[in-house]
Structure 1
């Protein structure tokens, strides 16, 4: 059969290992995990048996995405199309205790999440390899869709609708005590009709606890400033922050979606982090005025000034409802910016590179060995006040 499709049953470890490694290339050699595999083998998974799948009913096809710690395949479970995330290393017996614990935490979190804007969890497997099975979306990733329409941008109505989908998903997570910690366009998927956003990838998600938490999570361009430190921190050292780091990431993701651009484009990851640490934000030139107060309040440097997702959802619902007649509404509603406007980030200006290289005080980027420098500039501090722009905006749309 000329069009015969190649299937591999996951119950055959030798076949799947051969297939996967042949596709990965040198980037995922066993040497990458040599140190990890030498750790103790006493880890015992504590995962509800009801969420574990029968791997004999699981079929894998071609890979559809690859990451540093996993490969995602298209596949079938009980003859239904699914997405199969295979955690590296390919064999559970070769994984470190830390890797197993991280996988266990992800499974235990995502297995209790059920929301229309979050990818549906189907099941997991711990042997012979660690896998997470979720629904397969026939659409595409949000970045891929935005790339397909570039240099055009989404309509304002569509942008607000997507932002609302994300906000509702995040509101649900926060209400259940879960922080995502890596909210960005790359972790957003579209259904086939390109009309609905679904949140995915809970690899770095965790339950929120009071006190200090590890801060080795997130993506530089979307991370909140409180995840950075002016003093070097050793890997794994604890840091104080809470669920409001997701609100900053939401603002950065919303900017990227509406502008159809990458935040701090043209800058390496470290300089993107440097910009955030210096209280810079992407330029708001040409940004829809109706969303300015919300945007500026969400990426406030002070987490206490950021709105909760329950408030954000209300605002976006009102905006979407009024989107057909949004201009007349806004003309009657004065819009003010935040109390102390955050300086716009100017792209492709070499002075930021020179400045980053010449300043003296260290800034440590969590989870990385590289250190960039930032000069501690003393400025008179003002008493924090709630964002006026967001309050005026809420009153204009009668949001309580």
Structure 2
């Protein structure tokens, strides 16, 4: 496995698409010493970032580089705010089911986020593996994973954070595959500072119906995350990817129909009432995570 210093990686021509023309300022306590940072193989990419495996001092870490995109002034300002939010929110979130932030670097033109490394991949990867060997999660384990997600989200919501991109790809498995950890706070919003957001935030297969309305703005609501949780819970119960191979237009039209929800065929009857409440069309009809935890705990 190759092991490149941050400086040599930074100077390499292949690195140039990570040079970001943004001005991001962070508190000194968040900054890392890049002389102690070493970079190895790429392990994932998506959206506006690429993630590498590496080392900080002697610890294996995940290293996230923000990619360069041509943007107008408004988009540039929004991305600067998103990057700053992501780093500050991760730093605040001290929970056993949240991926740990180790630090960040804002070396001129290069924005780098260093995090805990989880080698077993995402919940989506896990579903793919189970389907390959024709296995399903035991109901108890499905509920246990759902409790991991709901207790984490309760913690975020009590801290005034709305995640806005809760999905299986952003839930990583612990080393022993018994615990889920939440990652990627790129779209997360601090509800104490932000009163409204533009509709359309998130990943469309997990987006609440009200977020498909792109006309004007919608008030921030933690009920967005509860709808996303319901889709993840359905995936945990079926080990299937929701709306697999369907595009955004199909999903939008389907979800905006009140009857348009994933099939309840083969879903255990005892969890159906909770699923139906969590993916209700009207946000006010969705329960809070505190109640979801109570219901799941009783089921276990």
- TM-score, normalising length from structure 2? 0.90
Q: CA deviation at 1:134?
A: 0.8
Classify the secondary structure of the residue corresponding to 1:281: coil
From 197, 205, 208, the equivalent of 1:213 is 197
From 4, 16, 25, the equivalent of 1:8 is 4
The structure whose RCO (Cα within 8 Å, separation 6+) is larger is 2
2:154 counterpart of 1:174 = no
Cα-to-partner distance string for 1:196-217 (whole Å, 9 max, x where unaligned): 0111000000111574322342
Cα-to-partner distance string for 1:264-283 (whole Å, 9 max, x where unaligned): 23421221121111121011
Q: CA RMSD in A?
A: 2.1
The residue that corresponds to 1:184 in the other structure is 167
2:122 counterpart of 1:144 = no
From 180, 201, 218, the equivalent of 2:184 is 201
2:239 counterpart of 1:260 = yes
The residue that corresponds to 2:72 in the other structure is none
Classify the secondary structure of the residue corresponding to 2:184: coil
Contact 2:3 2:39 in 1 (8 A): yes
CA–CA separation in structure 1 for the residues paired with 2:140 and 2:98: 21
Q: CA deviation at 1:20?
A: 4.2
- TM-score, normalising length from structure 1? 0.68
Bigger shift: 271-280 or 246-255? 271-280
Cα-to-partner distance string for 1:77-97 (whole Å, 9 max, x where unaligned): 01100001110129xxxx944
Compared CA separation, residues 14 and 190, structure 1 to 2 (3 A): closer
CA–CA separation in structure 2 for the residues paired with 1:293 and 1:98: 39
Contact 1:220 1:270 in 2 (8 A): no
Compared CA separation, residues 8 and 266, structure 1 to 2 (3 A): closer
From 53, 66, 85, the equivalent of 2:45 is 66
CA–CA separation in structure 2 for the residues paired with 1:14 and 1:241: 38
Classify the secondary structure of the residue corresponding to 2:104: strand
Contact 1:64 1:72 in 2 (8 A): yes
From 135, 138, 145, the equivalent of 1:155 is 138
CA–CA separation in structure 2 for the residues paired with 1:282 and 1:179: 24
From the CA coordinates, give the structure whose radius of gyration is larger.
1
| Structure 2 gaps, min length 5 | 70-74
Aligned length: 290
CA–CA separation in structure 1 for the residues paired with 2:278 and 2:200: 22
